[in-house]
């Protein structure tokens, strides 16, 4: 599914090379240790990683700068690093990308933040951080401020990348923002610093940050709407964007209702740095006057590319437009994006729980051969039990074993699309077994809903639900409504 046409995306991306952007924020160096595992350490129950090579990439605000540069813009960076080897390496990486570092200053007592990740068989094993989070010396902070004051008018946008490491603490962000005149400011603030970004063009936060900043549960539709409204009131920003991981992203503007776009990645290998990519695309779009709604559509495509890569990766305009080329722009209401494999649905549940640990996941299952009012009543009742509903759908082979060779009437893909088109359904997973036990083991839903024609003690999956503390709910049925009844009536046979 495309959220924006290839032609429009190409036209927008073409503008990026004419832009010059200033990035202000907390800089980091990412250190990667790559290898594989073939044994467990005899000294402790941990894997032994056979190291094959090392690599270094830009992190934090520096990764935002790298993303902007990859997308074709000219980029300068303002911030503080330590006077150490990591700081020198970070400067070297920035220079190699032709990112201006005149606004980058060193502080003797401050170590450059470095995150070391050990990757074994493309799986992160452990991370070790070197950092000392505190406000910079006043004299060094003033040098950053003086650079911004002197040079800000040569930029088409200023991007603040806040990782809560010290540069933008207290009122320091507000001080720097006051120095910037007639240039759009786009920021990725941490929740504790949101009020410092008062009156800027656009802020972006993830779902967890949105909850922390507002106190509203971004895992529900109503909570998300309240979180967006609260952010706009707190900050007086023109736009607030909340990224929702596997659920896409939401845009809030004072002039229009909430706008949501879906996530597009079918495979997710690494979400680290995806927020930086979204912030970068939004900033470039706003810098050249693109509407916030078009900006989030393009950003969703960029994020889908980045999460398929391992590490804090970037995306360039060639990749971005190629992902859209020769693919029709489909309606945002197309239900196919809700039809997931078991692995995709499992990842989605994991993301939901990470974003909002209190989110209640509901699961139900069935053949849903001819979707009718009785089915709808059960699905609506199931959705009311929690915050998200996953429907397990029996495959055609499974239905034949359960109902006979003349069934199903409708093939599995058509049944899946009809279910996915319902607003109360968040995901549909087709399964080939006779029972949904494997799906329940994978998702571990808080609530498993079945029709009232079952008894809890007769459900083969009941033991699994109880094993992790889940709850079974039997929904009341709508009398006189069943697929069998409909088939009999269609054949003009008496019931």
Distance CA 313, CA 321 (A): 17
Distance CA 70, CA 189 (A): 22
Distance CA 275, CA 188 (A): 8
Tokens of 405: 């060779």
Distance CA 265, CA 344 (A): 10
From its phi and psi, is residue 159 left (phi > 0), alpha (psi between -120 and 50) or beta? beta
CA angle, 251 as apex, 245 and 252 as ends, to 5°? 135
Note if 276 is an active site residue.
yes
3-state helix, strand, coil in the chain (%, to 5): 40, 25, 35
Helix (H) or strand (E) holding 159: strand 157-161
Tokens of 70: 């990859």
Tokens of 261: 């776009």
- Number of neighbouring beta carbons within 10 Å of residue 437: 18
- CA-nearest of 447, 473, 474 to 390 is 447
Sheet bearing 471-475, strands edge to edge: 339-340, 427-431, 388-394, 361-366, 447-451, 471-475
Tokens of 109: 């007592």
- CA-nearest of 231, 233, 202, 237 to 215 is 231
Q: State the catalytic residue, choosing from 270, 276, 426, 446.
A: 276
Decide: 21 and 74 in contact? Cβ < 8 Å: yes
b or e along 370-392 (b: 16 or more beta carbons within 10 Å of the residue's beta carbon)? bbeebbebbbebbbebbbbbbbb
How far apart, in Å, are the Cα atoms of 21 and each of 181, 194, 239?
14, 22, 19
Q: Which contacts qualify for 417-422: CB closer than 8 Å, 24 or more apart?
A: 417/335, 417/336, 417/339, 418/368, 418/371, 419/368, 419/371, 419/379, 419/391, 419/393, 420/335, 420/336, 420/338, 420/339, 421/335, 422/376, 422/379
Catalytic residues: 276
């Amino acid at each position: 599914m495309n959220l924006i046409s290839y032609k429009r995306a190409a036209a927008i991306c073409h503008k990026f090379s004419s832009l010059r952007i200033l990035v202000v924020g907390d800089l980091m160096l990412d250190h990667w240790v790559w290898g594989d595992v073939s044994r467990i350490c005899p000294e402790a129950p941990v894997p032994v990683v056979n190291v094959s090579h090392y690599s270094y990439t830009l992190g934090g605000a520096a990764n935002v700068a790298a993303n902007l540069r990859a997308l074709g813009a000219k980029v300068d960076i303002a911030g503080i690093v330590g006077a150490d080897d990591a700081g020198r390496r970070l400067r070297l990486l920035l220079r190699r990308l032709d990112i201006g570092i005149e606004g980058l200053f060193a502080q003797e007592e401050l170590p450059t933040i470095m995150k070391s990740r050990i990757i074994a068989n493309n799986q992160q094993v452990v991370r070790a951080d070197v950092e000392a989070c505190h406000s910079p010396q006043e004299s060094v902070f003033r040098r950053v401020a003086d650079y911004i004051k002197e040079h800000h008018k040569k930029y088409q946008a200023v991007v603040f990348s806040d990782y809560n490491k010290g540069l933008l603490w207290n009122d320091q962000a507000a001080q720097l923002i006051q120095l910037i005149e007639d240039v759009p400011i786009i920021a990725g603030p941490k929740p504790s610093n949101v009020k410092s970004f008062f009156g800027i063009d656009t802020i972006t936060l993830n779902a967890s940050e949105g909850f922390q900043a507002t106190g509203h549960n971004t895992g529900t539709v109503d909570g998300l709407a309240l979180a967006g409204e609260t952010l706009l009131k707190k900050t007086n920003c023109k736009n607030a964007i909340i990224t929702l991981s596997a659920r896409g992203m939401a845009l809030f503007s004072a002039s229009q209702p909430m706008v949501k776009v879906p996530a597009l990645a079918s495979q997710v290998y690494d979400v680290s740095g995806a927020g930086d990519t979204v912030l970068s695309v939004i900033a470039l779009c706003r810098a050249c006057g693109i509407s916030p709604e078009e900006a989030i559509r393009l950003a969703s495509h960029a994020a889908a590319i980045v999460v398929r890569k391992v590490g804090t990766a970037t995306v360039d305009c060639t990749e971005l437009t190629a992902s859209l080329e020769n693919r029709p722009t489909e309606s945002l209401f197309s239900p196919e994006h809700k039809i997931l494999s078991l692995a995709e649905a499992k990842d989605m549940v994991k993301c939901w729980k990470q974003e909002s640990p209190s989110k209640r996941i509901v699961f139900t299952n069935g053949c849903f051969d001819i979707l009718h009012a009785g089915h709808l009543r059960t699905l609506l009742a199931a959705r009311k039990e929690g915050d998200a509903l996953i429907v397990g759908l029996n495959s055609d082979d499974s239905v034949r074993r359960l109902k006979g060779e003349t069934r199903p009437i409708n093939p599995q893909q058509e049944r899946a699309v009809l279910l996915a088109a319902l607003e109360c359904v968040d995901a549909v997973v087709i399964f080939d077994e006779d029972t949904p036990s494997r799906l329940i083991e994978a998702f571990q839903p808080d609530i498993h809903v079945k029709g009232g024609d079952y008894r809890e003690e007769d459900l083969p999956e009941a033991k699994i639900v109880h094993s992790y503390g889940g709850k079974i709910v039997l929904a009341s049925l709508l009398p006189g409504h069943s697929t069998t009844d409909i088939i009999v009536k269609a054949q003009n046979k008496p019931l």
